[in-house]
Structure 1
Amino acid sequence: MRIVVAGGTGRIGRRVVAGLRADGHEAVPLARATGADLRTGAGVDAALAGADVVVDVSRPSTYVDEEVLRFFTTGTRTLLDAGARAGVRHHVVLSIVAVDRTDAGFFRAKRAQEELVRAAGVAWTVVRATQFFEFVGTIADHLTVDGAVRVPPVAFQPVAAADVAAVVAGTATGEPRREVVDLAGPERVRLDAFLRDVLASWRDARDVVTDPLARYFGARLVEDSLVPRGDALRGPTTWAAFVAHDA
C-alpha cells in the first residue's frame, strides 16, 4: 500500500513512516524537506501520485491563532484537492481529544480541519489524541505567569508520541471508519498535581499554583476539557516508563 504522510519528518510523522515501512508498506513523507509545500501546493500532486491513503500529522511551528487556523485550513484543502486528483481512498487525520468542546485557538483550528475532511466526500478517519508526554514542558511554559506555573485543576491523561504514531499507522492500513477515534494515555491524573510532581523531579524552581481561573492556551477549562468522554483507546506507555526510557 502506498501511504503518503503529511508532516512525515516531524515528531509523530517520522514514527508513522518508520512503522509503516517496517510492516512492508510504501510510506512517503510529505514535507518541505522532501520537496512538497502544503501552503503553496508545490510538489504535493507529485507526492500523492499513486497513493492509496493520505495521513495528515502536519503541525505548524506557531501557536498564534490566526496563523494556526490558516496552516490547517490551507494545508487540508491542498491535501484533499490533490488526493481527489490522485484517487486517494482514505484520508486519516491526527487531531486532539475534546477538540469540539475546548475553545483554545489551536483546538478551533483542528476543529476546522476536521470539518473540511468530513465535508470533502472522501472516506476518512480522525484519530484524536490527548496531549503528548513530549509536550509537558511546553504546557508548563505556556501556563507560566510572572514566574509561577498557574494550572487549572482538571483531569489530564497524556500519551506517548510513540503510542500515538502506532495507532495512526494502524488506522492508515485499516478500512476507513468515517468516525472519530479517541486515544489517551493509561493514567488519568490532575493536571496541577502532575505538573507539580514533574517540575519537582526536573529540579525546576517554579512554583505550581492551582488556579481554577488559569487559562490553557487562552481557553478556560472545565473538568473534562482535555480527556475523553466514554470509550477510548489507551496507549500502553506510562509516564514512569517514558521517563525511564528517555533517561
Structure 2
Amino acid sequence: MAKIVVIGGSGLIGSKVVAKLTEHGHEALAASPNSGVDTLTGEGLADALEGAQVVVDVSNSPSFAPDDVMAFFTTSTANLIAAERAAGVGHHVALTVVGTDRQNTISYFAAKAAQEQLIRESGVPYSLVHATQFFEFITGIAAVSGKDEAIHLPDNLVQPIAAEDVATAVARTAAGAPLGADVEIAGPEVMGLDEMVRRGLTFRGDPREVLTDPDAPYFGARMEERTLMPVSGVQVFTTTLAEWLPANPPRG
C-alpha cells in the first residue's frame, strides 16, 4: 500500500479522504499548518513528503479576495511541486472546481485555473478532480448573498454534490494510477442555484426569503447559465439534497 500525503488533510474534504484511504490500508498522512506543514512557506514539506508515492492537494485559500486567492494557489502549488520533484512523488492529485475552463469573471475560478496549469506543466504525473458545488456550501452562499433582509441569487444551473461523495472520488483517484487528465464529478440532480439554497434554508427553518434575481452576482461575479454545470463524461454520485439535509444538521 502507498504512503499518501493529503495537503489540507484536517479540513472538510481532507479529513474524509484521510479516513477513507486509511480504511483501505494506505498510510495516509494529514498535512496542514496545524501539523507543521505550510505549503505557502514550504515549511515541513520535505519531511512530510519523504517516501510518499502520492500527494493529494485539497487545501483552500483562507481568503477569497482576488489577489489573495491567486497568490495562495500559485505559491502553494509551486512549492508543493518543487517538493514532489525532490521527493520523487509519482502522482499529484488536486481537487478543483467545475467551470474553470469556461469564460467567467470569478476570481476564485481564475486562481484554480492557474493552479491547474502549473500542475499540468509540472512534469509530475497528475489527476485533476473537478467537483460541482457542495451541499455544504448552502449556508455560506446564503451568507454572502443577502440584500435587504432577503437572499438574492440567480437561477444558474448547478448539479450539487455531497462532500462525502467528493472525498470518495478523490480517495479513489489517489489510490489509482495517474490519469494525466481531468475528471468531473457531480450529484444526481440538476437545479437552480437559487433553488438549492431555498430548499436548504426551508428545511432548516430559516425564515429568510430567497429571491430569484438573474442579475445577482455569485461571489461578486456574474455567470452564464451553465458555467457551474459539468460536461459529458461526468461521474455522477447518488446522494440527493433531500437525503443529505436530515443527515447534516447545522453546526453550532
TM-score tier after normalising by the smaller chain length: over 0.9
Task: Give 1:146 deviation, angstroms.
Answer: 2.8
Return the alpha-carbon distance in structure 2 between the equivalents of residues 153 and 9 of structure 1: 33
Matches within 5 A, 1:124-163: 124-163=126-165
Instruction: Give every structure 1 segment of 4 or more consecutive aligned residues whose post-TM-superposition deviation is greater than 3 Å.
Output: none
| Residue pairs, 1:1-247, within 5 angstroms | 1-101=2-102, 102-247=104-249
Deviations 1:11-50 (A, max 9, x none): 0001101110100001111111111111111110000001
| Residue-by-residue CA offset, 1:54-97 (whole Å, 9 max, x unaligned) | 10000122221111111111110111000000000111000000
Structure 1 unaligned blocks of 5 or more: none
Q: Which moved more, 1:225-234 or 1:79-88?
A: 225-234
Q: Write the letter of the residue equivalent to 2:106.
A: A
What does the per-residue CA deviation read over 1:120-177, in whole Å, with 9 as the maximum and x for residues that have no partner?
1111110000111111110111221232211111111111101000110000011111
- Which range moves more in the overlay, 116-125 or 222-231? 222-231
SS class of match (2:94): strand
Task: Give secondary structure in 2 for the equivalent of 1:175.
Answer: coil
Deviates more, 1:201-210 or 1:163-172: 201-210
CA distance in 2, matches of 1:27, 1:195: 34
Question: 2:3 is matched by which residue type in structure 1?
Answer: R
Distance 1:221 1:149 in 2: 17
The alignment partner of 2:183 has SS state of: strand
Paired residue type of 1:185: G
Q: Return 5+ residue gaps in structure 2 as ranges.
A: none
Deviation at 1:244, TM superposition (A): 2.2
- SS of 2:99's equivalent in the other structure is coil
> Partners in 1 of 2:140 and 2:58 — Cα distance?
19
Distance 2:207 2:66 in 1: 30
Q: Taking every aligned residue pair, what percent have the same amino acid on both sides?
A: 45
Provide the TM-score with structure 2 as the length reference. 0.95
Q: Distance in 2 between matches of 1:29 and 1:220?
A: 36
* In 1, Cα distance between equivalents of 2:176 and 2:79: 24
Q: Deviations over 1:88-107 (max 9, x none)?
A: 01110000001122321111
TM-score when scaled to structure 1? 0.97
CA distance in 2, matches of 1:63, 1:233: 28
Amino acid across the alignment from 1:245: A
Q: Distance in 1 between matches of 2:41 and 2:196?
A: 41
Q: How many Å apart are 1:202 and its aligned residue?
A: 2.4
